[in-house]
Structure 1
Amino acid sequence: MYDPIFAKSFSKYEQKRFGFWAILICTIMAVSIFLELKPGFHPLAILGNAMNLQLSIDAAQDKLAVKDEDISPPLVDQAKEGEQTDMLRVNDMGTSSPLATEAVESDPTNTSIVKDIDTNPPLATQAKKVETRSEELVEPACNFLGPLSDYCEIKGDIRIEANSSTIFIVSPQTTIAAKNKSWSTRPYARKGNGGAMISVKKWTIKLVSHNEDNIPRCSINHSIPSILFSTGGFSGNPFHDFSDLLVPIYSTSQEFGGEVQFLATDHQHWWISKYQMLFSRLSRHEIIAIDKEKEIHCYSRMVAGLKSYKEFIIDSSKFPNGLSMNHFRQFLRSTYSLKRTRAIKLRKGAGQKPRLMLISRGRTRRLTNEGEITRMARKLGYEVIVAEAGISTNLTSFAQLVNSCDVLMGVHGAGLTNMVFLPDNAILVQIIPLGGIDGLARVDFGIPSKDMNIRYLEYKIEATESSLIEQYPLDHAVFRDPSSFHKQGWGAIRSVYLDKQNVKIDLHRFKSTLVKALKLLRRH
C-alpha cells in the first residue's frame, strides 16, 4: 500500500507516531462531516432553527402587507388605466409563499425535499403551520371605486344569514390580524344614483374567527359558486333592466359556465319571470329569493354584487377572453331565436324595402306628428312599423319584431334599448329633445351602439320643434340657458325637459336623416 523504500527511511518509533497522527486526523474529519450533516446535534442548531423560523414568519408577514400580485385581469387593467382600485385581497397567499413547505405540497413527487424537512421536525412543523394559516385566511377581493358598481369576490367558508343581511367568512384562526374585518355593499349597478339605491338592500360582509360566538351554522351546503344581486333600483325600466342588471349579470356569470346560483335580494317575482328565459341560459340552478330564506346557505365561492364598468357596455378589457357586447347580443339571439344576424344591403334596382321601426311613446317626449313621419318614410322607400313595448309585452315576440328591422328610430328614452335585438350593421336614429342632454343621450345609446356593431345617427331638434315653445317665450332660460337647470340637479332637468316636453318633427329637416340612413344601408 505504501513505498517500502520510503518506509525504511524511518525508525519503527517514527512509523508508530505517523500512524497515530493519521488515525487522529481521520477521526476529526469524520466527526466534522457528521456534525455538518446532522445540524440537530450542533451546539448552535437550536439558535439556528429559531432564526430560520423567524425569517420564514417575517417573509410571510411581508407578503401579507403587500397587495396580491395575482389579481384578476379586470382589476389589473383598471389599474393600468390609472383608476384607483380599492383592493382588499391581501391575505391570499396561494400564489406566493416563501416557505419550503409550499414546494412540498405543490409537488408530492419531490420526496427528497420531504426527507430534508423531516430531518428537522421542529422547523418543518412550525413552517407548515405558518403557511397553512396564511392560505386559510383569505379576505374578500373588493372593488369599491368603480364608477357604477361595488362588488366583492369571496372564497372560503362562506355562510349567508338572510335575516341580518350578513355574509360571514369564517376563518379557522383563533384571532384575526386583518385591518379590515367588515365590508358592506349594495349589489346593484347604479351606485351613484341615490334614487335608485334607496330601494337596494345593504349587505354586510364579515370576516370572523371560527371560535367567535353567534356564528351561524350551515343548514344547506352548496358545491357551486353564487352571485348576489338586487332586483330593486330602477328595475322595470327597459334601459335599466339591461344596463344595470342583465348586462352585468351576464358578464359577471360567464366565467362559471352555467354552474352558478343567483341570489336575488329585493326580489321581485314578476321581474325574474319576465327574463326567465335569459336566467335559465345563464344558470342550471334555481334562483333563490335570498331575503326570505331562514336557512343558512353556505358556499365556498361567491361574488357579492355585479361587475359593471361602463354604461350599457361590457368593457372587454376587464373580462377574460375579450367578453363583449357582441357576445351578449349573440346570447340574446340564441335565447329568443332571432334569425337575422345582418341588416339588409340595398342594391339599385332590386326593389328592396328596408324595414324601419318607429318607437312610439304614450306619455312624455311623444312624437306628435307620427303619422306624417310615417308617410314620409314610406315615400322614401321604407316599410314602416310603429310599435311600443310595455311591461306586459311578450318579450320574445317583440325581440323578434325588432330583429326583423334594419332601422330603429325614436326620441331619447328607454324604448331605444331595444336596439340590442337589431341585426349587425342596422341603424339607430336617436331624436334628441331640447335641454342640453346631448351628452347623456350619446352615453346611453350613441356610444353603446358602436360596441353592438350598430350604426348611429342623431337628430337634434330645434326650439320650434319642441312643445316647450307653447309654455315659455323664446327668450326664456329654458331655451337660452339649459345649463342653469342642470345646476339645479337632475330633478329640474327631468321635470322640464323630459317629463313636460313633446316633439313635433320638422319634416323638411328630418328628411335628410332618413336619406342618410338609406345611403348607409347601401354601403354595408
Structure 2
Amino acid sequence: MYDPIFAKSFTKYERKRFGFCALILSLIIALSICSIFKPHLHPLSVIGDAFDLQLSINAVEDMIINDDTVLNYEPKVNNAAENLPLSITSSDNTLSVNDTSALISESIGSNAAENLPLSITSSENTLIVNDTSTLILQPIVKKITEPICRTLEGGADYCDIEGDIRVEANSSTIFVVTNDHESISNSTNSWSIQPYPRKGIAFVKHWTVKLVRYDDVNIPKCTQNHRTPAILFSIGGYSGNHFHDFADLLFPLYTTSFHYKREVHFLASDYKSWWVPKFPELLNKLTKHEILDIDREKAEIHCYNKIVAGLKFQRELIMDQSSLMHNFRQLLRETYSLERKKTVRTRKGDGRKPRLMIISRKRTRILTNEGEVSKVAKKLGFEVVLAEAGVSTNLRSFAQMVNSCDVLMGIHGAGLTNMVFLPDNAILVQLVPLGGIDIFARLDFGNPASGMNIRYMEYKIATKESSLSRRYSIDDLVLKDPMSFHRKGWETLRSVYLDNQNVTIDIRRFKGTLVKALKLIRH
C-alpha cells in the first residue's frame, strides 16, 4: 500500500538513486559481517606448511640475527609464540617486525632451526618458520658486567663464575666460554689465582681463569658434564697445622658452601691424601659428593654451569656476618655430638667444680711448670685436665673433652684452636710469650673468641718468666728490642720467639688470673 505513496512523492530518477544507495549499503554491511566472522588467513601460512616448525621452550636456545636486527625470545609456555604481541613477516630476504617491545630472550636453541634462513609469523599458539636467506643462529651467554675474579678484604683470590665453564686440570685452567665480544675485548680476560686464603705461598698451585670466545677452536671439549655447582680450593698452604686447618680451610669452606646445602662438588687442588680422612664427618656435612683430587684429572674436562674458585676469607676465624661462626659452631656440635651448648654457672659449695683444660705442649713453647700451675688451680677449686691433641688423636673424643670444660688455657699456639669446641660463655686464657707476639695472639685467638661467644683473657709473659732471659743478656736486642726481629721477617721472628722459647710461670703472679677466671665462671 506504500508503493503508490512512494511513487507519488518522488520522481522515477530519484527512486532509482534510492535503490542504488540501498544496494551499496547492503554490500558494505555484508562485507563488514564477513570480515568480523571469517577465520584469520595469512598468505604465508600456506607456504609455511612446507616447514611447519613449532618452537617449544626447550628448543629456544639461540639468538636470531638478521643484519643489524636481533630477535630475542624468552617463552614462558610450551609454545614459543603464545602471548607474543608481534607479527613478523618475510619479504626480499628481510624481516619485518611489528611491536617488538615485549620481546625479551635468553636464547634460541641450536637445534630449533639450525642452518635455516627463515622468517617467523605469530599465529595463535604457533611459530611458523619460512624460508629467507639472511638469518644466522648463534648461542648467547649472559653478559659479563663485573670482573670474574677479585681480591677479598682478607687478601684471598676469589672467583664467582656462571655460564659455560670447563675445568682443564692438565693446564690448571678454568675456561669461561662466552660470545660477549665486548667483555673479551674491553676488559681483562685472564686471571692467575691461588685458590687458598693466604696469598704468595710457594707450595700452592696457581690456576688460570680465562675468558674465551665460543668459536675459539682451542676450547677443550667436555668429557664430564655436571649439573651441581663446584668449589675449587687448595689443600696446600699450611694444612696439617690445627689452627690453619680451621682458619684457612674448614671455616672458609663452610662460609663458601653452606648455602648449597651439600649439593656441591669440592675440587681439591694440592690434594693431601691424609688431610681429608682427618675430618670425614665434618666434610660430609658440607658436601654429599666425594672430594675430587682435581690435579690428577689430566684426561678429563669437567664442565659446570657454576663454579667458585677460592674460598671466602676475611680474617682468621672471623666473618662480618657473625651468624656464620655461630652456625659453624652449631654444626661442630652436631657433627661431633657435643652435649654442652652453654656453660652452667657454678657456685661455691654446690658440689660441682668448673673444669680447666691446660693445653700441654711437648715440643716448643713448653710450660715447664705446668704441674705447679695445675696444683694451684685445683686448690682454688678447679677440676684440671691436661691434654694435647696429636696427629693420631681422635678428633671426636678430643672435641667432646674440650666441650666438657669451662676454661681452656695454654701458651699461644695451634692447640688453642680447640676453643671452637667450647660451650658458649666459656673462658679462653692465652699465655702470650715474650717478643711482641701480642698482635698475633689477638688476631688468631683474642678477636675470634668474641665471635664465638667466648670470654677472653690473656696473661703476658714477663721477661724473667721466659727462657730467653737465661739465654741472652738483659741488653741484648732479643730482650730489649723484639720489634727489630719483626722487621727481619716472619722466619726470623718465629725462630727466635716461637720455636726457641719456653715459659716458667711465676705462680704468685699468675694466681690472680686463675682467681678472676673462677669468678667469671661463678657469676
Normalised by the shorter chain, which TM-score bucket?
A: 0.7 to 0.9
Is the 1:227–1:305 Cα contact (8 Å) retained in structure 2?
yes
- 1:78 alignment counterpart: none
Is the 1:148–1:310 Cα contact (8 Å) retained in structure 2?
no
Is the 1:176–1:208 Cα contact (8 Å) retained in structure 2?
no
Is the 1:200–1:266 Cα contact (8 Å) retained in structure 2?
yes
Aligned residue identity for 1:242: F
- 2:518 alignment counterpart: 518
Aligned residue identity for 1:370: E
1:118 to 62, 83, 87: 87
Q: How many residues align?
A: 446
Provide TM-score, normalisation by structure 2.
0.76
Aligned residue identity for 1:158: I
Paired residue secondary structure (1:309): coil
- 1:347 alignment counterpart: 347
1:311 to 316, 340, 363: 316
- 1:185 alignment counterpart: 193
- 2:457 alignment counterpart: 457
- 1:326 alignment counterpart: 326
Q: Deviations over 1:165-220 (max 9, x none)?
A: 1111223x3956422222221111112xx3xx211111111222232123221111
Q: Which runs of 5+ in 1 are unaligned?
A: 1-7, 24-52, 58-98
TM-aligned CA deviation for residue 472 of structure 1 = 1.2
**Are residues 55 and 453 of structure 1, via their aligned partners in 2, closer, same or farther at CA, if it must alter by over 3 Å?**
farther
**Are residues 247 and 129 of structure 1, via their aligned partners in 2, closer, same or farther at CA, if it must alter by over 3 Å?**
closer
- 2:133 alignment counterpart: none
Is the counterpart of residue 144 in structure 1 residue 155 in structure 2? Answer: no
Of Structure 1 and Structure 2, the greater helix share is in 1
Aligned residue identity for 1:315: D
Identity over the aligned pairs, expressed in percent?
55
Of Structure 1 and Structure 2, the greater strand share is in 2
Larger-gyration structure (1/2): 2
Is the counterpart of residue 158 in structure 1 residue 202 in structure 2? Answer: no
Is the 1:201–1:265 Cα contact (8 Å) retained in structure 2?
yes
Is the 1:176–1:209 Cα contact (8 Å) retained in structure 2?
no
Mean Cα displacement is larger for which, 255-264 or 308-317? 308-317
Is the 1:359–1:416 Cα contact (8 Å) retained in structure 2?
yes
- 1:233 alignment counterpart: 237
TM-aligned CA deviation for residue 488 of structure 1 = 1.5
Distance in 2 (alpha carbons) for counterparts of 1:129 and 1:366: 67
Is the 2:347–2:522 Cα contact (8 Å) retained in structure 1?
yes
- 1:302 alignment counterpart: 307
- 1:338 alignment counterpart: 338
TM-aligned CA deviation for residue 484 of structure 1 = 1.5
**Are residues 506 and 54 of structure 1, via their aligned partners in 2, closer, same or farther at CA, if it must alter by over 3 Å?**
farther
1:290 to 264, 287, 294: 294
Distance in 1 (alpha carbons) for counterparts of 2:438 and 2:490: 14
**Are residues 141 and 434 of structure 1, via their aligned partners in 2, closer, same or farther at CA, if it must alter by over 3 Å?**
same
- 1:256 alignment counterpart: 260
**Are residues 477 and 109 of structure 1, via their aligned partners in 2, closer, same or farther at CA, if it must alter by over 3 Å?**
same
Distance in 1 (alpha carbons) for counterparts of 2:238 and 2:441: 18
TM-aligned CA deviation for residue 106 of structure 1 = 6.0
**Are residues 128 and 345 of structure 1, via their aligned partners in 2, closer, same or farther at CA, if it must alter by over 3 Å?**
closer
Is the 2:152–2:312 Cα contact (8 Å) retained in structure 1?
no
**Are residues 118 and 406 of structure 1, via their aligned partners in 2, closer, same or farther at CA, if it must alter by over 3 Å?**
same
Aligned residue identity for 2:177: V
Distance in 2 (alpha carbons) for counterparts of 1:129 and 1:230: 38
Is the 2:329–2:420 Cα contact (8 Å) retained in structure 1?
yes
Distance in 2 (alpha carbons) for counterparts of 1:203 and 1:165: 5
Aligned residue identity for 2:87: D
Q: Deviations over 1:74-96 (max 9, x none)?
A: xxxxxxxxxxxxxxxxxxxxxxx
Is the 2:194–2:205 Cα contact (8 Å) retained in structure 1?
yes
Distance in 2 (alpha carbons) for counterparts of 1:476 and 1:395: 42
- 1:385 alignment counterpart: 385
Distance in 1 (alpha carbons) for counterparts of 2:513 and 2:81: 76
Is the counterpart of residue 223 in structure 1 residue 227 in structure 2? Answer: yes
- 1:423 alignment counterpart: 423
TM-aligned CA deviation for residue 138 of structure 1 = 4.7
| Alignment RMSD | 3.9
Is the 1:138–1:156 Cα contact (8 Å) retained in structure 2?
no
Aligned residue identity for 1:453: N
Is the counterpart of residue 499 in structure 1 residue 518 in structure 2? Answer: no
Is the 2:152–2:158 Cα contact (8 Å) retained in structure 1?
no
Paired residue secondary structure (2:228): coil
Mean Cα displacement is larger for which, 228-237 or 389-398? 389-398
- 1:433 alignment counterpart: 433
- 2:409 alignment counterpart: 409
TM-aligned CA deviation for residue 56 of structure 1 = 9.2
Paired residue secondary structure (1:136): coil
Distance in 2 (alpha carbons) for counterparts of 1:120 and 1:353: 88
**Are residues 407 and 208 of structure 1, via their aligned partners in 2, closer, same or farther at CA, if it must alter by over 3 Å?**
same
Provide TM-score, normalisation by structure 1.
0.76
TM-aligned CA deviation for residue 479 of structure 1 = 2.2
- 1:61 alignment counterpart: none
- 1:376 alignment counterpart: 376
Paired residue secondary structure (2:335): helix
TM-aligned CA deviation for residue 118 of structure 1 = 2.4
Paired residue secondary structure (1:429): strand
Distance in 2 (alpha carbons) for counterparts of 1:399 and 1:224: 32
Q: Deviations over 1:408-427 (max 9, x none)?
A: 00000011000001111111
TM-aligned CA deviation for residue 478 of structure 1 = 2.0
TM-aligned CA deviation for residue 151 of structure 1 = 1.2
Aligned residue identity for 1:414: A
TM-aligned CA deviation for residue 221 of structure 1 = 1.4
TM-aligned CA deviation for residue 475 of structure 1 = 2.3
Aligned residue identity for 1:437: I
Aligned residue identity for 2:151: F
